[in-house]
Every structure is written in C-alpha cells, then in structure tokens.
Structure 1
Amino acid sequence: MTTRIHNFNAGPAALPLDVLQQAQAELLNFNNTGMSILEISHRSKPYEQVNAEAEANLKELLGLGENYRVLFLQGGASLQFAMVPLNFLPQGQTADYILSGSWSEKALKEAQLIGQTHVAATTAGENYRRVPGLAEIKPSASPAYIHLTSNNTIFGTQWAEFPSFGDIPLIADMSSDILCKPFDASKFALIYAGAQKNLGPAGVTIVIIRQDLLENSPGAIPTMLRYSTHAKNDSLYNTPPTFGVYMIHLVLRWIKAQGGLAGIEKQNRAKAGLIYDAIDQSGGYYRGHAEPDSRSLMNITFRLPNEELEQTFVAQAAQAGLGGLKGHRSVGGLRASVYNAVTRKSCQALRDFMLGFQQNNS
C-alpha cells in the first residue's frame, strides 16, 4: 500500500485510520449477513440497527434527550440553506442571519429567495477576520429564527461562545466543527452538518432537530423537503446513503472511545496549538488571517510574505507528504484543516515543515 500522507484537506477530509480499517475488514461480510453493507437492504434489521445506534450515539455525545431527533439526509449543507427557510420562514415573518463568512452568505441568499430576511450582524467589512461579538448582534423585532455558522472553513474563524435568544429558535450550520468540543446543544432548535469533515464521508447530511419544530411542518412544500417526512420514517422514507451512515456510526463509536467530546477537545487544542505557535513565533513570516479570539480549532488559515512563496510552500509540502494545504480559491493563501481525525503526529509534521521552510526561505 502507498504510504498514507498527512491529510489536511478541508473536505472530504481525513477519517480515523481505525475506522477505515474496520470498514475494510467488514466490507465483504457485514455483521455475518454474507453481504457488504453496500449491498444490504436499508429496510433490513442489520441496517436499521446501524441507523438507530448512530442516532442514539450522536444524541448521547451532545447530551440531548428524547425531545430531539437526528436525521440522515442528502444534498449537503447547501440543500439545508433552502430547507430551513422553506420549513420555518412563514409568509410575513423575518429570518435573521448572522454573517461570519462565505457559507453564511450563501445560506442568506437562499433564504432571500423564499422570504423576508434581516442581517443581524456581519464582519464582512473586516474580510471576516473574526466572528461578531455578542453585543454586535441586533435581531429584528420578532424573527422566525436566527441562523449562524459555527465555524468558517475559508477564513479560519470559529465561535468561542454561542449566543442565546430566549424563545427564538437558534439554527446553526456546524458542518466543519460539529463534535470538535463540548457545547450546549440544547441552545439550538436545529443543527445541520455535512458529514465530510468531522463525521464521515461525503454524501450524508446530519440534521439534529427539536421535536416541537416538527409539529408545525408546512404541508405546502414538496414531501422530500419536509423535515417531518424524514423524522416520521426514521430517515428511511427513501433509500438513504447507507454506506455513509454506516461510516458515521463507526466514527461516533470512535469519538466515544477517545473520551467523548471532552477528550476530543483536548486533542484538538493540542494539535491546533502546535501550528498556531509556529505562526505566532515566526516574527510575521507567517501571518494568520483570523483574530486570535476567533481562531478556529479546525481550519488554520495563514499567509506568507508573497504568493510565490506560498506556491513553493504548497509544492514542497506535497513532496514531503503534507497534502491539502492550499487555501480556498476565493481567498488564496494557505489552510491546514485539522479535523478530529487528523493526528497530532500530522500536526507536528506540519509544524516542523513550517519551521524548516521559514529557515530555508527567509
């Protein structure tokens, strides 16, 4: 087998090696069925057990009870940008959006196609170097819901503390940092996340939704776009992405084995700290994009003195077995995505490379 590289891709992203090896071992004969998980019926008991355990383990990790459901959908977070307002933005009401990066902008644009919206806060004027402070958020008079994006992959910023708005439903896109650290999930009426960064392979979207939101699901939108459709059918209304859900099921088991979210957070802070320290101690050679109090644990964005050096950095890093370090095409620069499955060894290898690169190219 070709040697595995240090994978810093932003998504699809690294998966735990233990999980990949277990999936490999079970690929031809899952749970003594004589079939691969890729071949069995989604209505068979072996698959239904996978589906049910994945929902239970995710709620357990988040400390949520029976008043929440977990749905396994398709279409990515991009479909959720539309599903959220279709389900929860009635005519004559306003949905509030907090803008902290490109993905929150895209969520707002979809909502604007469906109903009335209000920008409750934005840091666009600062090129999204930070998330808005709690005191900067100015909700509309009576919003149907308030939407935020918890982590910004492109700009490398993350909410350190989530706001609360009383009885107003709080909705979050957590695609790029879900389960990276403990947080009070009960603050949220709905959380959605593409699986391909911290939870599993591309093709599955996780939706965590409070039961009371399901009770008022509108009947005038297409069946597949109603959250109630999927909740009533345990995410089995249509054929789900069975292999993807199976992989999420294994990743959730792996997270529990790491000590749950507290154990994962300890690892993530140590990993990110290695790279941020290399940036901070470089004397300005490496320049982080995010303000220190908004730095992401998951996506570390930085620049070098010029674009030519950045291109050389990416090329030489790839030769050294460090992949996925080129920044997003919309902003350039460099980005190291250090999701849960990225190891401390990989982060140490990147730090060592950064120190050596600076020494050789200053």
Structure 2
Amino acid sequence: VEKTLEKKQVINGKYEVQFFLDETDVYQKYRVKGNDNKTYLLKLYNSSKLSRYSFTNEGLLETEILRQIDHINIISLVESGEVVKNSQKYHFLIFDFISGETLHEKLKREGVFSPYSAVPMTLNILDAVAELHNHPRTVIHNNINMNNISLDYSKNSEKPILTGFNFARYIDSKSNSVDIEQLSPFSIAPELYNGVFTPQSDVFSIGALLYQMIFGIPPWYLELPEYQYSDDKFKTLLFDKRNEDLSFIMPDFEELDDEHLKETIVKALSIDVENRFKNIKEFNEALRRQVILEGGSTKKTKQVSTKAEVKQGDGFSALAGMEELKTLLYNDVIKALNEKELYARYGITIPNGILLYGPPGCGKTFFS
C-alpha cells in the first residue's frame, strides 16, 4: 500500500500520524494523536477521486451532515479541513477514535450472533438512523453494512457506532448521485439500482444487517468474486435470487424458530417497497414486539398493549460507578423478569439468586 502520510507527520498543526489503518479506492485511514494526547481517527480523501455529488459549496457533504448530527450511536466528527501533499489536494476528517472492531470483524472472529444479542444491537442502529431520518432535510445513509458498524469496547460494553457517511445524501439530493458500484450489493435496496434512495432504503439495509448477524451471510448471497459485482450479469443473477424466499436455516442447520422475528426480517427485506416497513419507527416497533405481524409480512399489524405500572424511585441512577454490576443485574435479572417470554424463547432462565461479595463498605447492602 502506498501511504500518503508518513509516520510522525503532523496534520493541521495538531494531529501527529501514528500509523496507517486501512484504505479504499478514494480514502485512507490513519490513527493519529492530538495535541491533547488523545487518540483520533483521520480519514484522508484524495479530493480528485471524489464524485461532484460528494461536495457542497462549503466542502464535503459528509462533513456538513456529520456537523449537524449528535447521537450516541453515530461516529463523532471533531474537525475537518484540507491539505496539499505532492501537488495533490486532500480533504481530511478527524473523528473520535473507536476502541474496538467492526461487526464484520467480530463475525469472522466469533461466528454468528444469537438473536438475543443481534436484536438489541439492531435497535441501537435503528435509533441512530432515526436521528438521520428525522433531520429537517432527511438524511439517507445509503451504506449501512457490517463494515460500517463499529463496536466500541472502551467502557466494558459493546456499543455499536454507525460510521461510513461518505455516501450519505439528503433526500432531496439528485437521484443517481450515489455510486452503487462502491456499495455492498447484498446490503442495498433494489431501488438504489435505479438511483432512488429513501428512508425505506435504509430499512432494507438494516434488515440485511440483522439477517447477516444471525445467519452469517448476507440475504440472497451469491458466491461470486467481488470483481464481478459490477457486471450486468451479476446484477441479473442477484435480482433473480431475490425473487426466491429467504432461507432461515441457521449455521447449525436448524431453522430459526422465532416466527415473529422471521416475519420482521421478511418485511424489512421486502423487494416491493409497498410491503416493506414504511419507516424506522415501524421496524423498531416490530423488533420490540410492540406490534405483532400476522399471517405474513404483507398483513396489517395489530397493536399490543405495552402499559406497565410505573414505579417511583431513581433506580440505578442513584448509584455512582459499578457500571459492570449494573449491566449484569439489568440483563440477567431485571430485563429477564420484565420480558420472560423473550428469554424463555431462547432458553435463558432467570437465576435463582445472585451472591454479592466483597470487603466491608464496598456497597453490597446499599446496592441490594
């Protein structure tokens, strides 16, 4: 790999290059250290290779969009600018560094996700994308896939972070302004092949993400070399493949036995936009089982009452620290008591008790 930046090179007078991370056809990523001694991610674009649709009057469209977005599950832009190197112009973006790995890397390392872990992670991504869709001009991400979801492990938990905004567009941006040849063909909605992108396009991509987490491969996967993805023959094969019913056979050769989850995935991945979830809110409600999909993905949904007695008290917010213990009790006890049917469906039983141990004064009695 021919690296544009050298180690120890300083960008914008603030960020010292530590080492090269990754590259695509149009950008390179570096780990850098700021004057504040914090670690950041630098994304360096070769400006001459970018589409004209990647720019606004003020600079990169990606920069403009991210400056307006603030969400816990969306990558944080710190600053941006331009730099000239070897008579070439480059645009750079500085992000908060994510200490972890991508969903794709975790899938390769550990294998498929259980529905119990995949669904909550998908709900976090849905919340992040809802923030984009609720923007006054409605932002469509267009490139949601396993490589653009990073897992932040910095706080002893897996927090999914949505990244990869270089193909994000406003809904009123020009059609055909997204180069689909640069996208993952198994993750993008069929209407994108016609240059059309809407909130339902992101719904499809998140449905494909959920499917791949649980089954290990993208929906309607074709085993062909990546260099053939741009061929018309491949697109014809993919379109034909998508006319087939989805397979719900798990890697252990057992079929997924959660009918509601299957119906939810089918509806999210509907080729016909009329049968797909109309928005993120509908998808979110289905995954949370606030609606029940009856007799197939094209049927109407029936509202399920989710009212519960509201108990007074500050709960865990009254306790400082002990985040690992709070998370353990919430997932293994509190959530299990509140969602008994969900836990029973995956064979997870509620513990008979929990033993708190430690030296005097560590908070055992206060916590309990």
> TM-score, length-normalised on structure 1?
0.30
By relative contact order (CA 8 Å, sep 6+), the higher-ranking structure is 1
> TM-score, length-normalised on structure 2?
0.29
Greater fraction of residues in helix:
1
